[in-house]
Amino acid sequence: MEITHKPHFIRPCTLVWLTLMSLTVTTYAIGEANLGGWAIMLTVLGTAVIKVQMVSSYFMGLRRTRRLWRGIVLGWLLLVAGLITIAYLSTIK
Amino acid sequence: MPPGDLAIWFFIFAELLAFGIFFVAYAFARAHNVELFNESQQHLNIASGAINTLVLITSSYFVVRAVAAIKQNFSRECARWIAAAIGMGGIFLAIKLFELYAKFSAGISLSTNTFYMFYLSLTIFHFMHVILGMVILTAVMLKARSGGYSAKLHTGVETGASYWHMVDMLWIILFPLVYVIH
């Protein structure tokens, strides 16, 4: 059912936008500080996972759809992030 | 059903799969050349990658506002938000071209080393998706401007929006993966 009054998703999306901007600045600061190591790697990759999930749920609006669609994107995200993590951790002696 | 035309979602999933394989291939190639990747990564411009992330995230937000506008039957407002998103896409491309120009001027090419092969092909592949996204958004904007969508019928706006969010999502992973993590 369509709505013609001001959509209720604007406010949460504005908050998500501001959060995404802050998280990006955090990742940038970590990059500029040239920090490395597995804890930093997990933090930065974890931040990216949260950001993608926010875009998918709120901007794309998948949180208002059937679980199947959210599940495909989330499954893709966790698989890719999981394999990247395995590849990185495999280099730590 | 997800927002927009169902066909775009099959396209989006195919794109996610292609980029996903590319991202994982990067990570495993790095695992075999850690020093080379870490050293080459030091020469990337993190600020330009970060600014481009902010630019794409903001353009995605503008597209959200365009969808909200058409749901209220505001065609012109919808077209204006999309135009703003396209403008941000243009800024992304300009920053990226500047970055690529600096790399090519320094004599870097696909054959320089494995890291640069991935860096250039991943970012250029993504660059082309930004261009395609802008073409789709332009078509949607023109139709919105001429009153082609309404509060009841606006699948086209959501289709373009979904594709554009995907382009944003991919950069959100690409930026930390290639520019930051080491």
Residues A47, B176: C-beta atoms closer than 8 Å: yes
Could you tell me which residues come within 8 angstroms of residue B135 by beta carbon, excluding any fewer than 6 positions away?
none
Please write the tens of the pLDDT for every residue from B34-92.
Answer: 999 999 999 999 999 999 999 999 999 999 999 999 999 999 999 999 999 999 999 99
* Chunked mean pLDDT (size 10), chain A, 93 residues: 71 97 98 94 98 97 93 97 97 79
C-alpha span between B162 and A4 (Å, rounded): 21
Going by C-alpha positions, the residue among A11, A78, A3, A21 that lies closest to residue B172 is A21
Sorted by where each begins, the domain ranges of chain A are 10-89
C-alpha span between B7 and B92 (Å, rounded): 27
- Model pLDDT, residue A2: 47
Of B47, B67, B172, the CB nearest to A48: B172
C-alpha span between A12 and B63 (Å, rounded): 14
Q: Which of A74, A80, A92 to mutate to test the interface with B (most CBs of B within 10 A)?
A: A80
- Other CB atoms within a 10 A radius of the CB of residue A27 amount to 26
User: B77 burial class (0-12, 13-18, 19+ CB within 10 angstroms)?
Assistant: middle
- Model pLDDT, residue B152: 95
Sorted by where each begins, the domain ranges of chain B are 6-180
Cβ under 8 Å to B: A residues 23-82 = 24-25, 27-28, 30-32, 34, 36, 40-41, 44-45, 47-48, 51-52, 55-56, 58-62, 65-66, 69, 72-73, 76, 79-81
Q: What would the CATH number be for the domain defined by B6-180?
A: 1.20.120.80
Q: How many CB pairs under 8 A join A and B?
A: 147
What one-letter code names the amino acid at B47? A
Judging contacts by C-beta atoms under 8 Å, the chain A residues touching residue B180 are 27-28, 30-31, 44
Please write the tens of the pLDDT for every residue from B102-143.
Answer: 999 999 999 999 999 999 999 999 999 999 999 999 999 999
Q: Which helix (H) or strand (E) holds B58?
A: helix B46-71
- Model pLDDT, residue A93: 67
Answer with the residue of higher pLDDT: B13 or A3: B13
Query: How is residue B132 written in tokens?
Result: 């395609």
CB proximity B41 to A under 8 Å: no
Query: How is residue A75 written in tokens?
Result: 């499954």
